[in-house]
Amino acid sequence: MTREKKLVLIVFIALSLFIFAACTITALLIYSKSFGRINSPKEQGFYSYLTWKETGEAGYSRKEVHFNSGVNKLQGFIYGGENLRGLVVISQGLGSTVESYSSLILHFVDRGWCVFAFNNTGVAGSGGKGTRGLYQSAIDLDAALTYVENAEEFNGMPVMLAGHSWGGFAVCAVLNYEHKVNAAVSFAGYNSGSEVLMEQGRITAGGFYYIIKPQMYILQKLLFGKSANLTAVDGINKSGIPVMIVQCSDDNLIYAGSSSIYAHREKITNPHVKIIYRQGEDATGHEYAFHSRRQKEYREWADLSWKKYKLENKDASQLRWAEEIKYDKALANELDPDLMEQIEELFNSAL
């Protein structure tokens, strides 16, 4: 090999290593930003959801417990511990805390269910530097169910699962494990974390995503190992239990036609699956997949009201705005009654 060819080879190798290192650093930065910690909101301020202070004042009971998921200790809460009908375990969406699901929790408590809800790794009072990724919700739910099975206070209660988005994937993917679960309902759940990561990567980074795709794949494997192979459909089919899949046509995060469990419905062989596709006036988007049409309309009106208030007031306070318009939290968190009735029927059939 001539000196000139050796020089070209060295330059090519050095350039390739530089590009690989730059792509790796970029992938790590994007990933860490996407899956950072979700801390509890400050105690003072306006919340569109019902806070524990409000629900506690209304007479609801809550007991805090802790359990391990890997190296992290997670924070869990037992609501309606006096209820013996059965246990509903709720798995949260990414970016939310347990309190974001207060309306759902209280709905089940009011109907005689004991509820166990917990903050995933990297969320609020749970340990972890970040939320780790799209498969972590299934890993944490696996740990939560192990805790439930060994806790005397649940005393062999029938177990129902309810999860949204990140949790909507978890309640189906965890069925790949050996847990005794009677039924599950998934709101706006995705089938595979890898599919969502690729889909959102293409949307946010365009063609550049394909350059860092190998690094993203390696990162997923390093973080989750075999768990990165989990899919919601595999869990649904393996379990054979009653499962309800709820998907909105206007979901702008977990798309009905691609990454959602709904999009993979033809692969479902479990005969006990019920699919509810909310479209037209019944569609309430991603974040509010189990809420009512009235709730959606009220939220849209409130958003416009707040934007107008900010334009008209230099030192706009959201708390003061809410007080002035007499913000209706009950309506802003109203569940869809027909949908919840169907969930009740599903859970009752599995007792």
Question: Dihedrals φ, ψ of 342, to 5°?
Answer: -70, -35
Q: Is the pLDDT of residue 274 over 70?
A: yes
Mean pLDDT of 291-298: 97
Q: Is the pLDDT of residue 263 over 70?
A: yes
Residue 95, classed as helix, strand or coil, is coil
Percent over 70 (pLDDT), the chain? 95
Strand pairing class (114-119; 72-79)? antiparallel
Mean pLDDT of the chain: 92
Mean pLDDT of 187-199: 95
SS3 per-residue string spanning 20-72: HHHHHHHHHHHHHHHCECECCCCCCCCCCCCCHHHHHHCCCCEEEEEEEECCE
Mean pLDDT of 240-250: 98
Q: Is the pLDDT of residue 43 over 70?
A: no
Amino acid occupying residue 333: N
Using an 8 Å Cβ cutoff, are 249 and 279 in contact? yes
Q: What number of CA atoms fall less than 13 Å from residue 142's CA on the CB side?
A: 17
- Cα–Cα distance for residue pair 133/219, rounded to 1 Å: 10
pLDDT band at residue 280 using 50, 70 and 90 as cut-offs = very high
Q: What is the dihedral of CA 217, 218, 223, 227, to 10 degrees?
A: 60
Q: What number of CA atoms fall less than 13 Å from residue 10's CA on the CB side?
A: 7
Q: Is the pLDDT of residue 350 over 70?
A: yes
104 burial via Cβ count (<10 Å: 0-12, 13-18, 19+): buried
Please tell me the predicted confidence (pLDDT) of residue 155.
Answer: 85
pLDDT, tens only, 1-40: 677 777 766 676 777 666 677 667 766 777 778 899 999 8
- In the chain, % helix, strand, coil (3-state, to 5) comes to 50, 15, 30
How open is the CA angle 129-135-141, to the nearest 5 degrees? 85
DSSP conformation class of 216: H
pLDDT, tens only, 44-88: 678 899 898 888 888 999 999 999 999 999 999 999 999 999 999
pLDDT band at residue 241 using 50, 70 and 90 as cut-offs = very high
Please tell me the predicted confidence (pLDDT) of residue 65.
Answer: 98
Percent over 90 (pLDDT), the chain? 76
Sequence ranges of the domains in the chain: 48-292+337-349, 293-334
Tell which CATH architecture fits domain 48-292+337-349: 3-Layer(aba) Sandwich (3.40)
Smallest CA-to-CA distance from 223 within 94, 105, 136, 294 is with 136
- Cα–Cα distance for residue pair 102/340, rounded to 1 Å: 15
Residues in the chain: 351
Q: Is the pLDDT of residue 207 over 80?
A: no
- Cα–Cα distance for residue pair 232/171, rounded to 1 Å: 8
- Min mean pLDDT across 41-45, 199-203, 252-256 is at 41-45
- Min mean pLDDT across 10-19, 110-119, 264-273, 274-283 is at 10-19
Using an 8 Å Cβ cutoff, are 40 and 95 in contact? no
- Min mean pLDDT across 117-126, 134-143, 312-321 is at 312-321
Please tell me the predicted confidence (pLDDT) of residue 343.
Answer: 98
This prediction has a pTM of 0.93
pLDDT, tens only, 83-117: 999 999 999 999 999 999 999 999 999 999 999 99
Crossing angle for the helix pair 293-312 and 318-325, to the nearest 10 degrees: 120
Q: CA separation (Å) from 15 to 7, 10, 18, 249, 293?
A: 12, 8, 5, 46, 56
Q: Is the pLDDT of residue 149 over 70?
A: yes
